[in-house]
Amino acid sequence: MKTAIGTLNPAKVNAVISALSNYEHITFQSLKVPSGVSDQPFSDEETIQGAINRAENARKMELADLGIGLEGGIIETSQGFYLCNWGALTGADFAPIIAGSARILLPDDVGRKVKSGIELGIVMDEYANQFNVSQNEGAIGIFTNGMVNRTEMFTHISKLLFGQYFYMQNKSSGK
Ligand X SMILES: O=P(O)(O)OP(=O)(O)OP(=O)(O)OC[C@H]1O[C@@H](n2cnc3c(O)ncnc32)[C@H](O)[C@@H]1O
Residues that bind ligand X (CB under 6 A): 7, 9, 12, 40, 71-72, 83, 119-121, 124, 133-134, 138-140, 150
CB atoms within 10 A of CB 17: 18
User: Closer CB to ligand X, residue 29 or residue 170?
Assistant: 29
Which residue, 44, 51, 145, is CA-closest to 90? 51
Phi and psi at residue 26, to the nearest 5°: -105, 120
Phi and psi at residue 2, to the nearest 5°: -85, 125
User: Closer CB to ligand X, residue 85 or residue 91?
Assistant: 85
User: Closer CB to ligand X, residue 20 or residue 68?
Assistant: 68
State the minimum distance, in angstroms, from the CB of residue 133 to ligand X.
Answer: 5
State the minimum distance, in angstroms, from the CB of residue 86 to ligand X.
Answer: 9
Which residue, 32, 14, 34, is CA-closest to 153? 14
State the minimum distance, in angstroms, from the CB of residue 175 to ligand X.
Answer: 34
User: Closer CB to ligand X, residue 88 or residue 120?
Assistant: 120
Contact 134, 60 (CB under 8 A): no
